[in-house]
């Protein structure tokens, strides 16, 4: 079986798809950090140690050069590493400088697409992974021991909302869909799972919103969120997992009908 045939049939293969790079397990895990990478980690530690929050300012370039004892080139490269991942932003002009960003799974998803693309991963594979991730999150959310927290997290989704045909409503609709899945993930009690397992859904949401109008799926999504919210609030973990699977299958079916052969395209963040 060729690498392409193996990929399409769901089998792993040591032979990469033509034009793609095989996933390996070599010695990269032991690679020594560059100075800029070490600096980026020191900045993150400073943010946490000082209890800084999104929007809080960080020291000026001169202050950081003195604080961390690195070259200007390494400092700027390290800050760019953090900026491109959304962990800080850089305000330009007088009074500007680095500002604390946010921890958002969309930023992790955006970076992940570079790896997925080079590895030859397709949107069909992405939807498979998304279903796996979301079913785990839904089941664990419903098993969260704090019933009050479950009910509070699901409360905004226990009613059906209208959606209008305006650009602003498109942005709000996409945001609300992502926020629902974020609310589910917030209940799992494990920040590694909460952050990493949301990345697939963030990539899906971004891609669908850029190539189509997801409001067409409003009734499907709203109904699915409603019954999921009820199951999670009530602590019915089996139902929550089943309903989530049905939800992802519905979105995947709709997307496959709309995109057709493009589901075999390599994953990217457009």
Per-residue pLDDT for 4 more than 90?
A: no
Look-up: residue for tokens 């959606």?
163
Per-residue pLDDT for 209 more than 80?
A: no
Instruction: State pLDDT tens for residues 132-153.
Output: 999 999 999 999 999 999 999 9
Q: SS3 of 48, please?
A: helix
Q: Is 238 exposed, middle or buried (0-12, 13-18, 19+ CB in 10 A)?
A: exposed
According to the model, what pLDDT value does residue 166 have? 56
Quote the CA–CA distance of 142 and 144 in Å, as a whole number: 6
DSSP calls for 137-185: HHHHHHT-S-HHHHHHHHGGGSS-----SSHHHHHHHHHHHHHHHHHHH
According to the model, what pLDDT value does residue 10 have? 45
**What does the block give as tokens for 144?**
């969260």
pTM of the predicted protein model: 0.84
Give the range among 16-25, 36-45, 103-112 with minimum mean pLDDT. 16-25
CB burial readout 6-42, b (16+ within 10 A) else e = ebeeeeeeeebbeebeeeeeeeeeeeeeeebeebbee
Quote the CA–CA distance of 78 and 37 in Å, as a whole number: 6
Is the CB of residue 90 less than 8 Å from the CB of residue 98?
yes
Residue count of the chain, please give it. 270
According to the model, what pLDDT value does residue 174 have? 67
According to the model, what pLDDT value does residue 13 have? 46
Q: Which of 199, 197, 196, 195 has its CA nearest to residue 139?
A: 197
According to the model, what pLDDT value does residue 56 have? 96
Of residues 117 and 96, more confidently modeled: 117
Per-residue pLDDT for 191 more than 80?
A: yes
Q: SS3 of 3, please?
A: helix
Per-residue pLDDT for 83 more than 90?
A: yes
Q: In the chain, what percentage of residues exceed pLDDT 90?
A: 66
Point out which residues pair with 97 in neighbouring strands: 91
According to the model, what pLDDT value does residue 213 have? 66
Of residues 198 and 4, more confidently modeled: 198
Give 162-166 contacts, CB < 8 A, sequence gap 24+: 163/215, 163/218, 165/215
Is the CB of residue 237 less than 8 Å from the CB of residue 207?
no
According to the model, what pLDDT value does residue 173 have? 67
Instruction: State pLDDT tens for residues 11-40.
Output: 444 444 557 899 987 878 888 999 999 999
Per-residue pLDDT for 9 more than 50?
A: no
Q: Is 80 exposed, middle or buried (0-12, 13-18, 19+ CB in 10 A)?
A: middle
According to the model, what pLDDT value does residue 144 have? 97
pLDDT band at 211 (very low <50, low <70, confident <90, very high): low
Look-up: residue for tokens 């980690």?
41
Cα angle, residue 196 at apex, residues 235 and 261 outer, rounded to 5°: 100
Q: In the chain, what percentage of residues exceed pLDDT 70?
A: 86
Instruction: State pLDDT tens for residues 151-161.
Output: 999 998 988 65
User: What is the mean pLDDT of the segment spanning 95-122?
Assistant: 94
User: What is the mean pLDDT of the segment spanning 77-104?
Assistant: 93
Q: Which of 231, 248, 239, 228 has its CA nearest to residue 131?
A: 248
Quick count: other Cβ atoms within 10 Å of Cβ 93?
Answer: 6
Of residues 164 and 224, more confidently modeled: 224
């Amino acid at each position: 079986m060729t690498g392409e045939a193996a990929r399409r049939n769901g089998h792993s293969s040591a032979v990469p798809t033509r034009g793609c790079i095989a996933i390996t397990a070599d010695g990269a895990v032991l690679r020594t950090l560059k100075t800029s990478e070490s600096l980026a980690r020191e900045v993150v530690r400073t943010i946490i140690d000082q209890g800084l929050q999104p929007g809080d300012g960080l020291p000026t370039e001169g202050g950081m050069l003195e604080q961390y004892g690195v070259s200007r080139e390494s400092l700027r490269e390290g800050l760019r590493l953090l900026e491109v991942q959304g962990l800080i932003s850089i305000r330009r002009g007088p009074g500007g400088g680095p500002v604390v960003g946010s921890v958002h799974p969309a930023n992790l998803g955006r970076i992940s697409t570079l790896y997925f693309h080079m590895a030859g991963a397709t949107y069909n594979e992405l939807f498979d992974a998304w279903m796996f991730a979301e079913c785990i999150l839904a089941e664990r959310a419903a098993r969260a021991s704090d019933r009050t927290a479950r009910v509070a997290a699901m409360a905004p989704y226990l009613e059906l909302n209208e959606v209008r045909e305006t650009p602003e409503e498109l942005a709000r609709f996409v945001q609300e869909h992502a926020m629902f899945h974020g609310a589910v993930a917030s209940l799992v009690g494990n920040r590694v799972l909460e952050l990493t397992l949301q990345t697939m859904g963030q990539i899906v949401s971004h891609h669908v919103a850029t190539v189509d109008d997801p409001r067409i799926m409003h009734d499907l999504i709203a109904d699915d969120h409603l019954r999921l919210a009820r199951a999670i609030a009530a602590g019915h973990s089996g139902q929550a997992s089943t309903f989530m699977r049905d939800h992802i299958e519905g979105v995947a079916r709709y997307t496959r009908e709309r995109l057709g052969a493009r589901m075999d395209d390599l994953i990217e963040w457009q």
